[in-house]
Amino acid sequence: MNTYSTTCFDNCWHSADTPCPHFIDCIASGQQCDGSHNEHASTRSADAQGTAATERLESFKRRLLFVEHDVPVIFVGMGTCGLANGAQAVHDALKAECEVRGINVTLIPVGCMGYCAREVIVDVKLPGRPRISYCEVKTKDVPAIIEHTLLGGEIIEEKLLGLYEPGETEGWEDAAVLGQLPFFAKQQKVNLENCGVIDPESIDQYLARGGYRALSAAINGRSGQEVIDDVLKAGLRGRGGGGFPTGKKWQLARDTQADKKYLICNADEGDPGAFMDRALLEGDPHRVVEGMIIAAYAIGASYGYIYCRAEYPLAIRRLELTLAAAREYGLLGKNILGSGFDFDMRIKKGAGAFVCGEETALMHSIEGRRGMPRPRPPYPTTAGLFGKPTVINNVETFANVTTVFKNGPDWYAGIGTESSKGTKIFALSGKVRNVGLVEVPMGVTLREVVFDIGGGIPDERKFKAVQIGGPSGGALPESVIDTPIDYESLKKVGAMMGSGGLVVMDESTCMVDLAKYFMTFIQSESCGKCIPCREGTKRLLEILDRLTSSYRDESTQEESLLRFQGMVYLERLASVIKDTSLCGLGQTAANPVLSTLHYFREEYEAHLYERHCPAGACRELLTYYIDTDKCNGCGVCARKCPENAIIGEKKKAHYILEDKCIRCDQCRVNCNFDAISVN
């Protein structure tokens, strides 16, 4: 047996055209029927043939999970973050080296295991030993890994991240274990359990790890209503940002009568600083697809779309393979698992518009139109894609659906807080040691995520704020960092769950500049349909721009006064935008400004009154000068200056003309004597 698509015993008739309801059960717990098309699994044959088939399935599973294998296996983390760190070169070097030496190994590219800061991650699994995880592997480390680990059976201490299980073999007892590392200890990997562990392009490995069992459990002999009841019982809420109860949304769509219904997976992850969905799609695409099929069954949808950003080529390629494999195995298409339920889907590539994360805009985009939102109601669950009832959930929500049915709604409802159940995946980045993907149960505090899992701030700098929820969220300072992560608590402190980007900032980040950054982003991404968002965000940005401008750029005195006027009206403008914008993008557009203004008012004041940026980040407010003692007059800076703002005689100290200087930093970068300082 080489794949699950070949039948496990002679009478088995499962195929894509004639799907058997017991297909998944067979994989899970051995042969379930005698192939006589009987409805019930009780007819499971106990004869010798049945036992042999069960044994065959079991041994195949052990091989798939690498419990049992003859040749060593090497896993290379080749998600986008791995590739960005040179995983392809490491992969190729491993392959070449093994070929040259004539060593027989299985080389498997896997997704991201979450510890992006330590990429490239290479796992080695020797027969009969626990899996070893090496981190920060470079091509030059390849010979050592092959020599010492693959051939010598030793652990290379310097490169070791940890073992998957405690080592029992001699010399391996003291090696670190992954689960005990600070980065992993407080995490609860549920939806990410397969990411970085299995080959995302192998449906068999996914099946061997219990894949599609949730689907089988959800649809076999149960009505769509029962499925929805389970989701409601689990308390699952949408992971896209708003936190609307998933079961309720499904119920609305199910209760609407229509000849056709659609299901959409929102994979248009446009939030800058968020990469959870990408990691899920790259590392465990089947989990998302499985959740979608369950959702489609519950609402009675016959066709689905995955709307994925074109900027995620790897995710799109893996999704295509995933859909093809699911069709081949009879898990997608007509009469799925013999339940009589038909469902298929395709991938739609987004064309780059942040506003398409909004559900009505996304549907317009699928219909081939400009991705502009429209007023609601009618809600998509009543009249959505092509005017039919439609459910839109995001990638992580669908992954959670699979989890709910795999482990049971009661189990799921046991994780998290009263109002927010389950786990949440966060993309932790910015000024934090352990950049990466983390999954924590709802209710842990931001402090635990940033300091315990994230390892705190590097370079001995001080924590300043953590930005949560992307352009719709807020920046939270140290005073509220003990807030538990759940939908309600975050709203109370002026932020929101968002999709899961967590960007950590230290004292060198200017909060006015951050607000300006988000406004610039929203301004350029505003679709222009409604005036409060189109014009309001522009005015907001202008106010912030004036705040960070130098007096050098102002020609009249009125311009200086405009700075103050802008600040006076800022909060009123923000509330108008919030109350009158058409869609979520506009309604939350002012949040980054309001939250930074609320928590970092003194920084705004320093910019306004003193034209001083305490963090030293607002370029326009800086002054460059040359230390005449250090300058030897080599003239490099004068040549590099694009504005000819540096003058001086050869071999004598140079000077910067402040009025001409555009603060491009070229002189400081190019000075070989550190003679140029910034104030």
Q: Which residues contribute to the site for another protein (CB under 8 A)? A: 80-81, 83-85, 116-117, 119, 269-275, 278, 310-312, 348-349, 351-354, 365-372, 386, 427, 429-431, 435-436, 467, 470, 501, 503, 505, 509, 514, 517-518, 521, 525, 527, 619, 642, 664-666, 669
Contact 286, 327 (CB under 8 A): no
Which of 250, 303 has the CB closer to another protein?
Answer: 303
Which of 66, 354 has the CB closer to another protein?
Answer: 354
Best CA proximity match to 242, nearest among 499, 13, 480 = 499
Which of 45, 85 has the CB closer to another protein?
Answer: 85
- Give the nearest distance from C-beta 185 to another protein in angstroms: 20
What is the sign of the dihedral through the CA atoms of 511, 513, 514 and 515?
A: positive
Which of 131, 619 has the CB closer to another protein?
Answer: 619
Please state, in angstroms and rounded to a whole number, the distance separating the CA atoms of residues 146 and 94. 8
Which of 251, 365 has the CB closer to another protein?
Answer: 365
Which amino acid is residue 65, in one-letter code?
A: L
Which of 112, 146 has the CB closer to another protein?
Answer: 112
Which amino acid is residue 216, in one-letter code?
A: S
- Give the nearest distance from C-beta 465 to another protein in angstroms: 10
Question: 3-class SS at 626?
Answer: strand
Best CA proximity match to 571, nearest among 598, 531, 599 = 598
- Give the nearest distance from C-beta 430 to another protein in angstroms: 5
- Give the nearest distance from C-beta 183 to another protein in angstroms: 13
Secondary structure of 491-536 in HEC code, one letter for each residue: HHCCCCCCCCEEEEEECCCCHHHHHHHHHHHHHHHCCCCCHHHHHH
- Give the nearest distance from C-beta 114 to another protein in angstroms: 10
Which of 167, 470 has the CB closer to another protein?
Answer: 470
State the angle between helix axes of 276-283 and 285-299 in degrees (0 to 180), rounded to the nearest 10. Answer: 100
Which of 6, 508 has the CB closer to another protein?
Answer: 508
Helices (H), 165-275: 182-185, 203-208, 213-219, 224-234, 246-255
Neighbours of 401 (CB within 10 A): 32
For residue 398, CA distances in Å to 214, 263, 277, 288 come to 12, 11, 11, 5
- Give the nearest distance from C-beta 591 to another protein in angstroms: 14
Residue 314: HSE in the Cβ half-sphere, 13 Å Cα cutoff: 21
Contact 590, 523 (CB under 8 A): no
- Give the nearest distance from C-beta 664 to another protein in angstroms: 6
Which of 142, 315 has the CB closer to another protein?
Answer: 315
| Close Cβ partners of 321 (under 8 Å, ≥ 6 residues apart) | 201, 285
- Give the nearest distance from C-beta 116 to another protein in angstroms: 3
Which tokens belong to 487?
A: 């939908």
Which tokens belong to 228?
A: 């929805």
Contact 61, 27 (CB under 8 A): yes
Give the dihedral of Cα atoms 59, 60, 61, 62; nearest 10 deg.
Answer: 50
Which of 194, 365 has the CB closer to another protein?
Answer: 365
- Give the nearest distance from C-beta 81 to another protein in angstroms: 5
- Give the nearest distance from C-beta 317 to another protein in angstroms: 13
Which of 401, 428 has the CB closer to another protein?
Answer: 428
- Give the nearest distance from C-beta 224 to another protein in angstroms: 27
| Close Cβ partners of 414 (under 8 Å, ≥ 6 residues apart) | none
